[in-house]
Structure formats: C-alpha cells, structure tokens
Amino acid sequence: MPGRLANKVALVIGAGSSGPGWGNGKATSVLFAREGARIFAVDRVLSAAEETAQAIAQEKGDCTTFQADVTKASEVEAMVQACLKAYGRIDVLHNNVGIAVTGGPVEQSEADWDRVMDVNVKSMFLTCKQVLPQMVQQGGGAIVNIASIAGIRYLGIPYISYSASKAAVVQFTKAIALQYAPQKIRANVILPGLMDTPMIYAPLAGSYGGTEKMIATRNRMVPMGHMGDAWDVARAALFLASDEAKYITAAELVVDGGLTAQVGRTD
C-alpha cells in the first residue's frame, strides 16, 4: 500500500532528540519515513540526526543525515544544496527546532533573548528563504512549522523569549501561507501543548521545583489528565504535510489535550 507521503522528499530540521527517548522531530522523521517519504534529517548535533536515521533504517526507510546550525545562513544554504543533491527535490519542509530559556525580561540576559529568537524564528526565515524558490520551481510544497501554545497563552512559568518567539512563528507561517497560496505552497503551524519529551527536562524542571513536581503539575493542568507525547505532534505534522491537507493552509493546529480551551479548574 502506498504511504501517505509516497514519492515525497521531506527536509526535517531538528530531526534529532535532545535526550534519550522520542522528541517531536525524531518521531516526525520516523513517521514520515514509515509513510513513504525520503527524509533529509538535519541537526546541529550530527549524532542526534544519526540516531533518527538508524531508527528509520531499522524499518527499511530512506534517510540521509546532515549537520547544520540553522541559525547560520551559509549552513542553511549548504543544507538545501545537499538535500537537492541527494534527492533532487523538496516537497515538505518541517521546521522543528526550538529551545526554551526560563525567565522574564528582568531575569533573562540579552544574549538569551537573541539566542532563542535566532533558533526559534530566524532559523525559519533562513530555511524558507532557501526552500521557497525550490518549491515554486517544483510547482508546490508543504511547510509545517512548530510553534507552541506558549505563543498564545501564559503557561504558569515565565519564559519571555520563548513565548514571544512562538507567537512570531504563528504569524510568520500565516504570512508565508498567504503570499505563496497562488504557487500551491501550503504553510501551517502546529501548536503543541504540554508534551512529555526530552526537551522539557533540563530547561524547565527547576522552575517547577524538580522533575517529579514538573510531571505531576503538567499532567494536572491538562483537561485530559496527562501530557501528550512526540507521536501526537508527529501525527499532526503527517496530516498537514500530506495531500490529505491539500485545501488546508494558514491553519493553526493546536495539539494540547484541550488545555487552551479551558479557562480555569475547580479541582
């Protein structure tokens, strides 16, 4: 049976995982490959991308790894050239990289602010700059960007640069979707809620008073009673990347177990 991404090439940025287990980018790469896509897996940490590639190879999928820091224009340009050399086209651009630093404007340094903005927002500007002309030339494509519900809600702990950067990603995506709709390039944004992935542990646990408290608090906050996982984000990305979403562009897909629809709790 042909997969939902058969014959497509997916450029996944941030395809590794920042810790053991399954991050969003790793799960998305594996799921895309299961559905027939050839994966160009990019990460600043090559060994992380290689772990993803191994998981794909174990399932007899096709994946090529590439090391790039996508905050650097020259590395992004080299990355796109390498992807085109390997696979000849780019059908799906999945922008997954994102980092969080806690603190409000008083606590965060200017360097923290710049770094988070560069990794979370400028990276998407740079990848789109390189990939959009290729998609126009091909006659279309799908871009899936990862934001966060932190871009539309305050989640109980301050991380000002993260919140601002994720709000920027939402509108960045919509502006691209509208500009490129006539060229059949779709752009959609996923807003994950509280997900249990490796990236939350080191940066966030301290702000919740330790790892166990963080897990308990985050589970309790969600109407469904538990955090989501990387596969929840991956399945949403698969839908938006696939032709099943061919009439969907400029959409915000919230994946949060109902959290942002809730005003407050009585228990």
Ligand X SMILES: NC(=O)c1ccc[n+]([C@@H]2O[C@H](COP(=O)([O-])OP(=O)(O)OC[C@H]3O[C@@H](n4cnc5c(N)ncnc54)[C@H](O)[C@@H]3O)[C@@H](O)[C@H]2O)c1
Tokens of 222: 């969600």
Residue 39 interacting with ligand X (CB under 6 A):
no
Paired tokens of 30: 């594996």
Pick from 124, 199, 236, 237: which binds ligand X (CB under 6 A)? Answer: 199
For the question of residue 154 being annotated catalytic, the response is no
DSSP-derived letter for residue 62 is -
Query: 171: helix, coil or strand?
Result: helix
Any contact of residue 97 with ligand X (CB under 6 A)? yes
Applying CB under 6 A, the span of 32-40, 41-49, 177-185, 205-213 interacting with ligand X comes to 41-49
25 sits near ligand X (criterion: CB under 6 A): yes
* Contact between 44 and ligand X per CB under 6 A: yes
Q: Which is nearer to ligand X, 15 or 142 (CB)?
A: 15
Q: Is 17 in the site for ligand X (CB under 6 A)?
A: yes
Q: Residue 239 half-sphere exposure, CB side, CA atoms within 13 Å?
A: 14
Sheet with 141-146, edge to edge strand ranges: 63-67, 38-43, 9-13, 92-95, 141-146, 185-192, 252-255
Q: Does 143 bind ligand X (CB under 6 A)?
A: no
Tokens of 11: 């450029």
Site for ligand X in 152-191 (CB under 6 A): none
State yes or no: residue 205 binds ligand X (CB under 6 A): no
Helical H runs in the chain? 24-34, 46-58, 73-87, 110-117, 123-138, 160-180, 201-208, 211-221, 230-241
Residue number, 199 or 240, with CB nearest to ligand X: 199
96 binds ligand X (CB under 6 A): yes
**SS3 at position 110:** helix
3-state secondary structure 182-226: HHCEEEEEEEECCECCHHHHHHHHHHHCCHHHHHHHHHHHCCCCC
Report the residue number, 3 or 19, with the smaller CB distance to ligand X. 19
Could you tell me which stretch among 57-65, 127-135, 195-203, 244-252 binds ligand X (CB under 6 A)? 195-203
Active-site residue, selected from the candidate residues 87, 159, 162, 208: 162
Site string for ligand X, 47-86 (x = CB under 6 A): -x-------------------xxxx---------------
